[in-house]
Structure 1
């Protein structure tokens, strides 16, 4: 097995070449048959009618459909049930001699799927790989708009071994008496070479994706990957997805490295179906990568397909599993061309055979692809669902007009929230636990045959205001307001209606706001937090603390005859006069800041020290005054 060499830009093939061998055998395949010939009616038993006379074949009147006739008949009191009179066909297999050795067909159920479709001629699968043998007898007549990104030329490609093998898995001809058969033998292929030797660079793959978009590919197969994220590559992938192209990519062949496995791109990008590999026993192959990004599994071990120069041989790897999924997707889309990309994707998942842990898991994703079931199922119209907020406990919606009986399933990616039975109702309501804002809730309808709609998904709206912010002490000596609020919220500081400053709380909820200027002690500030949904908290009030000592007082002249010392200081501050460290007088300044402190007469030359202490007990610098005669 050739495994990816870790690099930033180079991308390597995900394959394992085991053996090359020719085949010769002979089988026949029956032509397709119509679905039904009229209706079978089963009448209710009576005492007068024996059992063998209770079933009757009824032809569909001109201008009426089979479904309408069944609906009309089942309304009769004497009818137990009515159903289509299905036409059966011989379950023969293609006359391609190597078909019997392509074990994956039986594993996938392709023969049953082919009774519905072998692929439409207008369905195009782009293979971004290392080229293709365009002259191979099993691939001739299938190639459209081939392109080589290395040499910038059309319709001339390297005869890539890997790409040729993948092409045969997807669309090798059936019933041509040679080789094997592809999963969707009647579809067209758009091979695009991006490799020069062992490697392809990101720029060439991006060019290939754009080429596939421009030339109207329906599906892109990328059996390649690298353990490094590229924003440019991802943007090209998302562009193709937005254009309605279904993208399938290999999950990678490093699974036997255990915990050292890294995510492989493009498989790990969103809107890409990541494919793991299984063997004949439906077990994960040891080399198949596993991760939460794996979406589906498919046969990938010892797969027989086309090789250059008219040969056939086996290869193994997630590279081989990927075109299995691309081929089944092509069958689904060919059979139901009105489906969109998302509906085809969900059909693959909904019809897959669940393997491993029940439900989606890291090894098999949604399960192993099942061609038979995928073409037997149908996609239901989606319900209309009303969004809810984090304050609501009810999910409501409308059921499509043609939906009769079944269930409505409401769930998140972590658990089932509710299931509602439907028996003719056209609306539904389900009680659920309150959900956190931003939680994705999905709703889909499922009929009694297991057919499903594509999920309707929405995020729970945020209608809950943040809690009041917590705010640290704000002093009159600072322009910083700090504290904690809801992470990511916008925090605003106001003095009454005047906004003093704003800032965003970080991921931990911490915020620091620089306000326009220092505020006086005693001023009341209000602080609020507004979340991203526009909900605003109740305001938190903070009184600006006095953190500033009073200014040095001014003192009038003091003489040997002075018994009252006068001057000016901070309003309402407590004045103190000391001599040699001993207080000789004190008083409170008026609300205008004037003061008068009674003292004993002092001798000339004595130094008085006058201070002001505010209510916060901050003491000013002392004013030194020398007594004069």
Structure 2
């Protein structure tokens, strides 16, 4: 990260006080060489053998890989492998190389026996510029760009950027200074800093420039805790164009619980890098977070500085170009790999530190150049889609995969492992998984080589529970109830849709229907989830919630013993006087009624009301007894 480095620059040392060390040189561009194949036999002439290994020459017109495959198909062969040609593990003749402790940790010497980087590999360094005239960086610069001054081929000689450039690609075997992790790759310096800070717009401009000018990797040893959607879109666009993006996790680790996500490292599809020291421990400043992907040496790192100088800096800014450099070596050695395969090679070859497996401090572990270039990437398996109803994961093993395991897991735990010994397909039993869970499947051979994981999101095939619906009256256009959260609730009568609405996060819903429904009408309610699964039907009968009209009553006098009038057919008509019921009777089917009551005194008030079979009560009709 940029800010921390600015604070420690005054204590840098110059290269002239470093010890002078000049061992024999290592050749710059080499690939693994082999002389035929060595075969380990299980038996010979029916007799078991413990240690017989035979060298077999590769026939003309056949490849080493094909011969190995043919030999391993023989029953008496335990294994076959290339008969590699080994060479002396000599160090470069750069005098400061012995003070660059990170090379021993990374195993770059061993990695360099395969490649020191390809001149076709371009790393864009989005930072504060590079000293293009530095003796260890001369001839490595392509398409330099300054976003601040909008000019090409001229950038400031930034201290931070120059230091990062030396870590990635400082020249080896030139008799001065130290050496970069990938000494032969090209660098594309892009300045985004105007003083101490770089703004979002300039960083976006730099990313676009790197894409347009065919960078393979982007190194961003900078960051901020503020999320920018515009910056994220630029990063994702670069990723889609095939660029590997590496960024610093940040240097606020000593703030403890106050540590936040730092962008762009925390964006998806960006390799977020934490720092380690020379004991493979986390320096206090190195950020920790679930977004950290990998760790790398970042403490007291010796590299180039402007004006031909050298010095030490610390921070995740220094760790980031370590990972970038190893990625450049992998890609240089195997140019047919894609960015995802390079990324997983970094993770799969990393030295696990801290808690077993991925953790918040070191991610997948500390980067390891030696192992990264020794491993190979296997062909991915084919995996059948899986749903939340399934307890089996099935698929096809790659045609070139003979023995090993199929590993099936989530980001939280291992689900299953299937041993493969020549089988073409696999079936694994797992516990049912929740819809939306991502399941990863990869093949691993007996040497620990792995494929890139195949990710499958568990499909939702489980229908929601049928909704519960509150009473629906003939007096409303609102249907309420509860259903699975976020499902879409549909109300029908027959095949006619009356209304729809989404249940909220608590599962409550209110559906407004097109019109009031008659009592006795049957409504059908269903809930459909986002995956298109529909629940079984809940039937609801519309109930009578409409009160009868208040009765009409004929004249009542002091001689009346039968009160007559009209009310809703078949309703029960009751008459009250002074709060007491003094008579009741059912209205006829023709809506007439006759209720017997005791004779009442003149002036008394009677209250006549009707109650239907659904127990809805009408308004009362007030009648005063006449003389």
Per mean C-alpha deviation after superposition, the further-off stretch among 506-515 and 194-203 is 506-515
Call closer, same or farther: CA 1:203–1:566 in 2, change over 3 Å: same
Which has the larger displacement, 548-557 or 377-386? Answer: 548-557
Asked if 1 retains the 8 angstrom alpha-carbon contact of 2:40 and 2:54, the reply is yes
Deviation at 1:39, TM superposition (A): 3.3
Are positions 1:21 and 2:17 aligned together?
no
Q: SS of 1:180's equivalent?
A: coil
Q: Taking structure 1 as reference, are residues 482 and 80 closer, same or farther at Cα in structure 2, changes over 3 Å only?
A: closer
Structure 1 counterpart of 2:445: 447
Distance 1:59 1:15, change over 3 A: farther
Equivalent pair of 1:33/1:87 in contact (CA under 8 Å): no
Q: 1:228 to 1:563 in 2, by over 3 A?
A: same
Structure 1 residue 561: Cα displacement: 6.6
What is the alpha-carbon distance in structure 2 between the residues aligned to residue 181 and residue 532 of structure 1? 55
Q: 2:148 aligns with which of 147, 150, 157?
A: 150
**Backbone CA RMSD of aligned residues:** 2.6
2:457 aligns with 459
CA offsets 1:336-365 (integer angstroms, 9 cap, x no match): 111111110000000000000100000000
2:389 to 372, 388, 391: 391
Specify which of 4, 26, 29 is matched with residue 30 of structure 1.
Answer: 26
Q: Which stretch has the larger CA shift, 361-370 or 84-93?
A: 84-93
Are the equivalent residues in 1 in contact too, given 2:71–2:77 (CA < 8 A)?
Answer: yes
Matched-pair contact (CA < 8 Å) for 1:30–1:90 = no
Structure 1 position 86, deviation (Å):
2.0
Alignment of structure 1 residues 197-208 onto 2, 5 Å: 197-208=195-206
Give the distance between the partners of 1:155 and 1:427, measured in 2 at CA: 55
Residue 497 of structure 1 corresponds to which residue in structure 2?
495
Q: Which runs of 5+ in 1 are unaligned?
A: 5-11
Secondary structure, counterpart of 2:95 in structure 1: coil
Could you say which residue in structure 1 is the equivalent of 2:208? Answer: 210
Q: CA deviation at 1:591?
A: 4.1
Aligned to 1:7: none
What is the CA deviation profile of residues 400-458 of structure 1, one whole-angstrom value per residue up to 9, with x for unaligned ones?
11100000001111111110000000000011111111111110000000000000111
- SS of match in other structure, 2:585: strand
1:78, distance to aligned residue in structure 2 (A): 8.0
Once residues 340 and 579 of structure 1 are traced to their aligned partners in structure 2, the CA distance between those partners, rounded to angstroms, is 93
CA distance in 2, matches of 1:417, 1:80: 30
Which of 523, 540, 549 pairs up with 1:525?
A: 523
CA distance in structure 1 between the aligned counterparts of 2:408 and 2:269, rounded to whole angstroms: 22
TM-score by length of 1: 0.92
Q: Secondary structure at the match of 2:211?
A: helix
What residue is the counterpart of 1:619 in the other structure?
617
| 1:492-512 deviation line (CA, Å, top 9, x unaligned) | 122333322211111221222
Q: 1:255 to 1:591 in 2, by over 3 A?
A: farther
Q: Please tell me whether the aligned partners of residues 14 and 224 of structure 1 are also in contact (alpha carbons under 8 angstroms).
A: no
Distance 2:299 2:96 in 1: 16
1:309-458 aligned within 5 A: 309-458=307-456
Distance 2:588 2:79 in 1: 103
- When structure 1 is superposed on structure 2, of 607-616 and 161-170 the one drifting more is 607-616
CA distance in 1, matches of 2:428, 2:524: 42
Check conservation: 1:122, 1:188, Cα contact below 8 A: yes
Report the 3-state secondary structure (helix = DSSP H, G, I; strand = E; otherwise coil) of the residue aligned with 2:120.
Answer: coil
Distance in 2 separating the partners of 1:262 and 1:95: 43
Shift of 1:601: 5.9
Are the structure 2 counterparts of residues 546 and 16 from structure 1 closer, same or farther at C-alpha, using a change threshold of 3 Å?
Answer: farther
Note the C-alpha offset of 1:28. Answer: 2.0
- Asked if the contact 2:31–2:115 (Cα under 8 Å) also holds between the matched residues in 1, the reply is no
Give me the TM-score of the superposition, normalised by structure 2: 0.93
Change in Cα spacing, 1:301 to 1:77, as seen in structure 2 (3 Å) is: closer
- Tell me if 1:162 matches 2:160: yes
Partner of 1:265: 263
Flag structure 2 segments of 5+ consecutive residues without an equivalent: none
Between the aligned partners of 2:580 and 2:124, the Cα distance in structure 1 is 98
Pairs aligned (count) = 619
